[in-house]
A and B are shown apart, each in its own frame.
Chain A
Amino acid sequence: MKAIEVSNLVKVYSGGIPAIDGLTFSVEAGEIYGLIGPNGAGKTTTLRIIATLIKPTSGSVRVLGFDVVEHAESVRGLISYLPEEAGVYGNLTGYEYLRFVAEVYAKSEDEARSMIEEALDISGLGSRIRDRVKSYSKGMQRRLQVARTLMVKPRVAILDEPTSGLDVYHAHYIRGCIRRYVDEYGLTVLISSHNMLEIEYLCDRILLIHKGRGIDEGPPRLLKEKYSSSNMEEVFLKAVGLA
């Protein structure tokens, strides 16, 4: 069974032009799959539909066999979603926030506790975890959010620009965490980014998206060969016919 199966997906926001226009792709279990494209390509829209937040205009999406519209609740039990702009409850401490999410996902107190320990490790927030989240920098908030997303060890993690707003050092560290989680726990990761380096480093396969359509798909190495380019940026420009 595929971890994610998207077929002929179309999303038209009220009255506008299609944000996604007939997108088809699938993600294997245990794979890191990247959606790559410029701003406005439709990456966030696609991820939101998979995360059961918005409904497709037409087409279908299945997560581990469950339809995201028909069985939204079952899908929510399998995924963990990191939005592009993830808000925080400023009045809670980092710890209280993690505790809340852990209690929602965990089956037992032990499991909740180990989730929070993992999150402390990923976030690297140290003793600041006891401070109110509103006192955190943007980068610290983002690290808390990445930690929150991964700590529950979902079957499928959906990460929308996970390292946006992070400095080089922390971005590198977070990428390492994502990699480690996939290797250790066999998660499936669907990630979006316009950072070509990140995609190249992390993804087993990528899908180039432009104006709501899939342009090309494959492992980064093969795509580079196919377009005889040295980096992904060039691949993208050649694929959409701009270079």
Chain B
Amino acid sequence: MSTESLALPATTGTAPPERRLAGDLAIWVFICAELLAFAVFFVAYGVARARHVDMFNTGQLTLDRNAGALNTVLLITGSWFVVQAVARLRGGDPGGSAGRLLLALACGGGFLVVKVFEYKAKFALGISLSTDTFYMFYISLTFFHLMHVLLGMVILALLWNSLRRGPGPTTLSSLESGAAYWHMVDLVWIILFPLVYVMR
């Protein structure tokens, strides 16, 4: 991180126009911290797995891969709608933008529903954080990620609300920031799914 650039208020027109970060600088600093947190979590998973390969492989077989794949599709579809929402607002169509955000929110909601069923099935079997190291990671990682989906949805809902009430001069920048955060949630799941559900 360059200390100088950190202090610049984001999206003032001072930067050279051809290269520009979409969204506020503050959200990107935050995204970096989040990515770091997940990186530490993932690497810890990798190390723990290397020490208990059999336990991890056995545990993994009990996971619901279809649910995981479905959730991947829901997240990337949600992201795709968010991209369209940004494009529409840039094109001067706040109504269309808000509509796309609703679709993205629906995808997020779908993700939550799938997750709830997935957890319910696991908890019904008596699986908990203390069952073994694999399940500890499975539950912690997916739950930590789930919290991010929820936060992302709150952000999208706020953005939807401000679009509906009529966009102001800073709405585009806010939307770009929220979009960047939402895509980050997606980015992390793209690693998480193969790692926890598939790779053996």
Q: Tell me whether A and B are bound partners.
A: no
